[in-house]
Chains A and B, each alone.
Chain A
Amino acid sequence: MNEEELVSILLAERQRLIAYLISILRKLDQAEDVYQEVCLLALKKRETIVDQQHLRYWLRTAAKLQAMNLLKKMQNRQLTLNDEILDLLEPHWAAHDAEDDSVVMLALKHCMDLLPKAAGELIRRHYVQGISYAVLAESLRRPVNSLYVTFSRIHAALADCVNKRLSIPEEGR
């Protein structure tokens, strides 16, 4: 696999791989760092990578190993999912391999546009302005737990909306 092709796939796989790393590491910045290390590793080992399918499997394996090493270094293993669960999740990650990230993002963007204004504002305040759940809960005069529930419902609604849009044929989207 030549370098240009490899980098192209690495960038196309970025979101999927970072999502996978989040399920292990739970922290976005650490996931991005590990992703970058995996990119370097892939560039070094590009001669041994056969095709795109092989690369995807290789990337997940390498990412998992790197993430585990990081957790070991940080002695933070007790706050992450155990190995048995991670293994059970593997086939579900593999099921997402056929999805084109750019199509998923288009669907997500469309779904986010459909969010009620208040919900959109809420996630902007949390994810863009970095306002914590505690501060948000205080400003809304609601318990923090109910805010977690609200966020989980927004995420679930977006997930269902994306699933639905991906199930609609291309011309109907």
Chain B
Amino acid sequence: MSDSASKSGSYPSEGPSRVADRPRDFLRLAVCFIEGGLPADDLRLLEDYLRNDSANRSAFVRLCRIYIGVVEELKAESYLSASDSQRALTGAVMMPAMLHEPAANRVPPVGSNIPHSDSFALRAQADGNSTKPQNHFRNRIGWIAIVATAAIAVITALVLRGPFTPSSNNILLSSIHARWASGHQIVSGQRVPDDGVNLLHGLVEVRMQSGALVVVHGPARLHFPSPRQIRLAHGNIVVRVPHTIAGFTVKTKSANIVDLGTEFGVAVTSRKPTSAEVFKGHVAVHCAGAAKSGQSLRILHQGQAVRINRHTIQTAAFNPLRFVRPAAFAECIWAAAKAGTSSANQGYIRWKASSFAISHMSGLKCYYTFTPDPAQPNTLLNESTATFGRYNGRLGNPGVPNSSPTWRPGRWPAKSALQFSLTHHTAVHMRVGPHFVPRRAITIFVWLKPEDLAHTDHIINQIKPEDPRFNLCWLGSQEKPYTPNAIYFDWGTGRVISATVLPKISEWTFLAVTARPDRSVRFYVDGKLASVRPCPPAPKPQSMQLLIGAPGLLNSGTRSLFMIGRIGELGIFNRVLSAPEIRAMYRSGRPPMSNGTAGKQ
């Protein structure tokens, strides 16, 4: 103990006020009490100690705080060391700091003042040595006896108890194509065991004892230490917490996400920061390792997202497509029933959840999933929740035979698409008002499967007597006079053509175009940025008639420009989607490759 410390401090560490100098029995009783193990008789003794001496009360308060600190610090440390090499990193940081500390300020090793008998006992245990001679033979027999007794007791308990019944009250409501880690199989309606969920693949929905609803998207590993807490080791989860529960917390290795009455998603992947997004309400995100950085807390509101490292919280692009929300889960159950267990439908359920999320995204002007409605077989339904009931398309031209595109299987057998034909000049017709085409910013995305790569396919076009204004085309390899194997986009004031994009042969392709006046037009192919071009000024509003799968001029000269192939999904936003959003859209909607895999990244 240095003199300077004892002089300057408000906590005298020498003399009778030292916690370690309190009566030994008082300290034992205090620690027993704090850990919840003090019997009623001893409680009265502890009360006497506390009643009679103010220093004991002060020591008791400090011990309570030390207990919480020790427990939380050790648990945080064990979480870190279980998942990555953070522990080694911490050691590397701490050691030099300790070495460079002035000798006068250095605190002697804690525990060095533990009476010799106890310290000795601890060291002997850690080193595996003892000064007393050991009778190894007797020890071995003792251990065998203990193990045998324990085994008999366990077997007897299992036989008497019958089927395993875990103690938690968290129920697995339903699962879709769930594949569990060995020994972690749970069926719908069964309680989730205390060691939680270890899901290799698929989707499951868990109702927690507290009423919170959790959708887990495999692969994922998590457990439920209390009715209001989830510890997520890895995987994606979405939690919907009723308003009656406060402070529901999801803990990960780097963050605590505290609910404030809401629905939110958390994603943990190895070697990447924890991600958190808020779908409804708001949450408090607490960064575990940023105690002094000033960035330890962030309140997130609806539509916001962050990435949390060990020490910082960074704003991230809101990307709801990464998660399966409880409302989408119901859609997925319906889709699973339709798709069955066929491997050809792999990915269809995930797309269904993603499609549900897209239909709720902000700024969505129209969204066509190309799912036929048995009640209106000749209608292409707009499924955007914001504009539902408007902007529906009509298949074919009334009075013109065979002008309707036909329903065919899409990216999966369970999903449908429209087959367009050059022979029959098929198209979907739509009449829209002056505000349908956004003017401040726009994103168009489409899943299409061109069947003739030499041929130019018109995807969506405005009918206008002379000059098509709103126009998106795939330019074939025989295209003249424009760039072959490129994307043509006209927003109303002039054409913009992408750089050459490598064609694919008869595969589903995801095209996306984003544009903002006086900035840039960005062309994405299969989720990757393919080309950037300057953007012309914004168009003027006008009512228009649109065609899907046909050129804007329906005269004989343009008949060869009708689409040959299929379209499986199409949407228009009145904002510029970010690159991660477009990438997520592609990933969640990509079909299986011909070899049965989920397709390339």
Q: Can you name the residue of chain B whose Cβ is closest to the Cβ of A116?
A: B111
A47-55, A57-65, A67-75, A120-128 - the one binding chain B: A120-128
- A11-62, CB < 8 A from B: 11-12, 15-16, 18-20, 22-23, 26-29, 32-33, 35-37, 39-41, 43
- Report whether A22 and B110 are in contact in the complex, using a CB–CB cutoff of 8 Å: no
- Report whether B65 and A163 are in contact in the complex, using a CB–CB cutoff of 8 Å: no
- A114-170, CB < 8 A from B: 114-119, 121-124, 127-128, 133, 140, 142, 145-146, 148-169
- Report whether A88 and B11 are in contact in the complex, using a CB–CB cutoff of 8 Å: no
A81 at the interface (CB under 8 A from B): yes
Question: In which size bucket is the chain B interface?
Answer: 35 or more
- Report whether B36 and A155 are in contact in the complex, using a CB–CB cutoff of 8 Å: no
Q: Can you name the residue of chain A whose Cβ is closest to the Cβ of B91?
A: A113
B434 at the interface (CB under 8 A from A): no
A22 with B37, Cβ < 8 A, contacts A121-B126, A124-B74 known: no
For A105, the chain B residues whose CB sits under 8 A away are 69, 73, 291
Cα A111 to Cα B72 in complex, Å, equals 14
Q: Which of B10, B28, B40, B107 contacts A152 (CB 8 A)?
A: B28
Interface of chain A: mostly helix, strand, loop or mixed: helix
Cα A108 to Cα B297 in complex, Å, equals 21
- Report whether B19 and A40 are in contact in the complex, using a CB–CB cutoff of 8 Å: no
Q: Which of B5, B54, B67, B299 contacts A19 (CB 8 A)?
A: B67
Q: Can you name the residue of chain B whose Cβ is closest to the Cβ of A17?
A: B68
A1 at the interface (CB under 8 A from B): no
- A75-129, CB < 8 A from B: 78-82, 84-85, 88-89, 92-93, 95-96, 102-106, 108-119, 121-124, 127-128
Interface of chain B: mostly helix, strand, loop or mixed: helix
- Report whether A79 and B40 are in contact in the complex, using a CB–CB cutoff of 8 Å: yes
- Report whether A32 and B19 are in contact in the complex, using a CB–CB cutoff of 8 Å: no
- Report whether B65 and A128 are in contact in the complex, using a CB–CB cutoff of 8 Å: no
Q: Which of B94, B225, B297 contacts A8 (CB 8 A)?
A: B297
For B226, the chain A residues whose CB sits under 8 A away are 29, 32-33
- Report whether A119 and B111 are in contact in the complex, using a CB–CB cutoff of 8 Å: yes
B504 at the interface (CB under 8 A from A): no
- Report whether B40 and A78 are in contact in the complex, using a CB–CB cutoff of 8 Å: yes
Identify 17 residue pairs between A and B in the complex whose beta-carbon atoms are under 8 Å apart, listed by A's number. A23-B64, A26-B36, A33-B226, A36-B249, A81-B50, A88-B51, A93-B61, A115-B111, A119-B110, A155-B70, A157-B113, A159-B66, A160-B20, A162-B66, A163-B9, A164-B107, A168-B9
Interface residues of B (CB under 8 A from A): 1, 5, 8-11, 13, 18-20, 22, 24, 27-28, 30-38, 40, 43, 46-47, 50-51, 54, 57-75, 77-78, 94, 98, 102, 105, 107-115, 118-119, 121-127, 225-229, 245-249, 258, 260, 284, 286, 291-292, 296-297, 299
